Amino acid sequence: MITIIVSILAGLVLLSDALRKVPGIGPSLEKFAGWLSAFDVVIGVVAIVLGILELFSLQGILLILAGFVLAASALRSIPSIGPSLGRLGNALAEFRLIIGVIILLVGLLGLLQLLFGSLGRFR
């Protein structure tokens, strides 16, 4: 459940620049994503940790990639490997939009599966 929430939040933060183009709810989503952007490093670190815990799944790999993009500034402060991790995060930042769309979709599909999958059990 927590990985679904972090996936959605990371996707919204990664897409914060492109959300205005969504018809109808774009400005509201952009405003919410702008507010969430203040917590991008925290969301990024949590995404990396959850991605490592679920390493052998698509969602885990996407969480790690999103975490590197979001927490690149904090990763630079890790002794001895920090500069390399910071460069990796900066290199992945070019794919911010693609990673954001995919992880948001994976998070939303996980949420729908969680909601409607539990409804199917009661038949």
- Going from N- to C-terminal start, the domains of the chain cover 2-118
For 107-123, the pLDDT digits (tens) are 999 999 988 886 655 55
Per-residue b or e along 72-87, where b marks 16 or more CB atoms closer than 10 Å to that residue's CB: bebbbeeeeeeeebbe
For 25-73, the pLDDT digits (tens) are 777 888 888 888 889 899 999 999 999 999 899 999 999 999 989 888 8
Q: 0.85 cut: is pTM over it?
A: no
